[in-house]
């Protein structure tokens, strides 16, 4: 990933020198190419879906918007409306190919209701650490929803850590299904 980012920078510099006027268009093409490139890399081996520690989506400053008080908040919702978004091992970076799910959720929330973002981790690692990892995954989705214009008052997070696996097996397939954020819509 580091190498790829450097490459993008170099290309942007070239574009800047060659065609100042269309720099914006060029950058968008490169960004689109980048998304396709990253999506294309997904099925390759152990680092599948690893996007480094930076979240491609979600402004870090959104991490300063406080969460809602729990009093009077619903504690349950419908999890069947949207598929969960999935994450790489020990990562809370939102995968570009999964961002489209968040965009669908945002469209729904623009009309009505609210959502509990339920963060989960796979069974590897300590239960304590997985609890905060699940929370950070839920918060990454929250940041993107806020960026898409959804009010923070419509969003609550709830981390289950490794305590509620979607798939009870102990293999790579189960683990990748379990590293997820579910949308409980109310």
- Binding footprint of another protein on the chain (CB under 8 A): 53-55, 60, 62-70, 73, 75-76, 90, 92, 123, 125-129, 131-133, 135-136, 139, 156-161, 163-164, 170
Nearest distance from C-beta of residue 44 to another protein, angstroms:
20
Give the residue with the Cβ less far from another protein, 63 or 83: 63
Nearest distance from C-beta of residue 9 to another protein, angstroms:
20
Distance from C-alpha of 10 to C-alpha of 6, rounded to nearest angstrom: 6
Give the residue with the Cβ less far from another protein, 19 or 170: 170
Nearest distance from C-beta of residue 21 to another protein, angstroms:
35
Cα 113–Cα 118–Cα 119 angle in degrees, nearest 5: 145
Nearest distance from C-beta of residue 119 to another protein, angstroms:
9
Distance from C-alpha of 66 to C-alpha of 19, rounded to nearest angstrom: 43
Give the residue with the Cβ less far from another protein, 24 or 171: 171
Secondary element (H or E) of residue 145: helix 127-147
Nearest distance from C-beta of residue 127 to another protein, angstroms:
6
Q: Are strands 155-161 and 115-120 parallel, antiparallel or unpaired?
A: parallel
Give the residue with the Cβ less far from another protein, 27 or 186: 186
Nearest distance from C-beta of residue 32 to another protein, angstroms:
25
DSSP output for 8-64: HHHHHHHHHHH-STTHHHHHHHHHHHHHHHHHHHTTSSTTTT---SS-SSS-GGGGG
Give the residue with the Cβ less far from another protein, 18 or 63: 63
Task: For the chain, give percent helix, strand, coil, nearest 5.
Answer: 45, 10, 40
Give the residue with the Cβ less far from another protein, 64 or 173: 64
- Backbone φ, ψ for residue 72 (5° rounding): 80, 0
Q: Closest by alpha carbon to 68, among 147, 139, 155?
A: 155
């Amino acid at each position: 990933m580091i190498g790829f980012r450097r490459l993008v920078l170099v290309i942007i510099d070239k574009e800047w020198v060659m065609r100042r006027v269309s720099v914006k268009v060029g950058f968008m093409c490169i960004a689109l190419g980048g998304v396709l490139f990253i999506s294309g890399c997904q099925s390759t081996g152990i680092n599948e879906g690893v996007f480094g520690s930076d979240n491609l989506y979600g402004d870090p400053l959104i991490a300063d918007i406080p969460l809602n008080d729990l009093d009077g908040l619903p504690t349950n919702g419908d999890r069947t409306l949207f598929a969960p978004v999935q994450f790489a091992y020990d990562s809370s970076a939102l995968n570009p190919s999964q961002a489209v799910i968040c965009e669908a959720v945002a469209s729904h929330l623009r009309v009505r209701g609210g959502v509990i973002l339920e963060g989960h981790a796979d069974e590897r690692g300590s239960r304590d650490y997985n609890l905060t990892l699940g929370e950070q995954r839920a918060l990454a989705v929250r940041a993107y929803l806020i960026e898409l214009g959804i009010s923070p008052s419509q969003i609550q997070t709830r981390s289950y850590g490794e305590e509620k696996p979607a798939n009870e097996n102990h293999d790579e397939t189960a683990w990748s299904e379990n590293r997820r954020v579910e949308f409980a819509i109310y």
